[in-house]
A = this chain, B = another copy of it.
Amino acid sequence: MIVILKSGATDEQIEHVIERIEQLGHSAHLSRGTHRTIIGVIGDEESLRSEPLKALPGVADVIPVLPPYKLVSREAHPDATIVHVGSVPVGGGYLAMIAGPCAVESEERMVRIARAVRRAGANILRGGAFKPRTSPYSFQGLGTKGLEFLRTAGDEAGMPVVTEATDPRLVETICRYADMLQVGARNMQNFVLLREVGQTDKPVLLKRGMSATVSEWLMSAEYIASQGNSQVILCERGIRGFDSATRNVFDVAAIPLARQLTHLPVIADPSHATGRPDLIPSCALAAMAAGADGVHVEVHDEPEQARSDGAQALLPDQYEELFQQMSRLAELYQRRIAGPGDSSGPV
């Protein structure tokens, strides 16, 4: 940690800062420059992180030199983590190809879509039973009924399933049905929920918050890991931007950046990132080319009838075509898409 003093900082103030650093069990290394004095703090940065050194008189700024996360940091764990969603391995050369409707709407439709996306090549099925909706008057999901339909569809099509958890009180119930729990963008800093999913033994799909830095996103993964569950898959899904032409800004650089900083798998969700079926394929391919460990796409067989986000869903045929293109990139990059029953070692 580096403490930068104000240009007019007095000797007394400097001494007070040093004293405080030593009180906290660290040593201080003073460096007087031509215009400014800085103090290098020597010792375990973590224990100092929440101390309000910036509030000390004469202090201009306090600059940490280490990332604030540890368990999820690649610096500490260089090897890629492979997360198993049901029997499907993700990370370390294996791709998560997640597809399915925004919301579970009926058993019949769910099974139909599941079979279609499995046939196209997807290896994990998605479907929302508890939907976080901006309006209290919108369809909020089928709830537990939806979980049942999703499970049935997954079983019929032979795929593990992922669904969103929004209520800490329902995490246990969802765990009975789902192979992976999703924490949505709006809940990325719902620390109560993060702790709850961190206490389960299910992998967690953690979406990036709409205005979260990559570091904050990793801190949320750290929350989950700090509870004992380090089976976390990160998912970039677009950040808020100023151009209303797309729903969000797909921050493709966050994928290689996050993969550099953490050993966890990092995938992309071009459906929410763009909100436009005409841009989803290009962005899905961009994600693959940037090194993503998988792609999450919303698919619906009758978008005009969809009860949530219909306007951004691909048709099964469109998904199949996209999957073919993604496969070719996977091959070029020597990545592998493991089928649900097929988890032999990484390439």
Q: Which residues of A pack against B, CB within 8 Å?
A: 1-2, 4, 7, 20, 29, 31-36, 38, 40-46, 49-50, 52, 54-56, 60, 63, 65-66, 68, 75, 132-139, 166-169, 186-187, 189-192, 195, 210-211, 213-216, 219, 222-223, 226, 239-246, 249-257, 260, 273-274, 278-279, 282-283, 285-291, 303-311, 313, 328-329, 332
Write the nearest CB–CB distance from A285 to chain B, whole angstroms: 4
Instruction: Tell me if A282 and B290 are in contact (CB < 8 A).
Output: yes
A55 touches B167 (CB 8 A): no
CA–CA, A219 and B186, complex, Å:
14
Task: With A49-B137, A282-B255 as known contacts, state yes or no: A304 contacts B56, CB within 8 Å.
Answer: yes
Number of copies: 4
Q: How far is the CA of A287 from the CA of B286 in the complex (A)?
A: 6
A80 to chain B, nearest CB (A): 16
Which residues of B have CB within 8 Å of A254?
243
- List chain B residues, Cβ under 8 A from A226: 136-137
Least CB distance from A73 to B in Å reads 10
- On whether the beta carbons of B244 and A4 are closer than 8 Å, the reply is no
B251 near A249 with CB under 8 A, answer yes
Max chain B Cβ within 10 angstroms of own Cβ: one of A168, A250, A252, A283: A252
Determine if A286 and B252 form an interchain contact, defined as CB atoms under 8 angstroms apart: yes
A188 smallest CB distance to B (angstroms):
8
Determine whether the beta carbon of B260 is less than 8 Å from that of A4: no
Are A65 and B214 touching (Cβ within 8 A)? no
| The one of B38, B132, B186, B256 that contacts A2, using a Cβ cutoff of 8 Å | B38
Can you list 27 contacts pairing A with B, beta carbon distance less than 8 Å?
A: A2-B63, A29-B31, A33-B42, A34-B43, A36-B66, A52-B303, A52-B304, A52-B305, A52-B311, A68-B135, A136-B195, A136-B219, A136-B222, A136-B226, A213-B244, A215-B243, A239-B242, A240-B240, A241-B241, A241-B249, A245-B257, A252-B286, A256-B278, A256-B279, A282-B291, A289-B329, A332-B332
Question: Is the CB–CB distance between A260 and B278 below 8 Å?
Answer: yes
Check if B216 sits within 8 Å of A134, measured CB to CB.
yes
Chain B CB within 10 A, most for which of A138, A166, A190: A190
In the complex where A40-B38, A50-B139, A166-B192 touch, is A214 in contact with B245 (Cβ < 8 A)? yes
Instruction: Look across to chain B and name the residue whose beta carbon is closest to the beta carbon of A288.
Output: B289
Which of B43, B55, B246, B310 makes the CB contact (< 8 A) with A257? B246
Residues of B near A306 (CB, < 8 A) are 52, 55
The complex places the Cα of A177 from the Cα of B307 at a distance, in Å, of 41
When the two chains form the complex, which single residue of B41, B214, B241, B256 contacts A33, counting CB atoms closer than 8 Å?
B41
Chain B residues within 8 Å of A75, by CB: 7
A211 touches B213 (CB 8 A): no
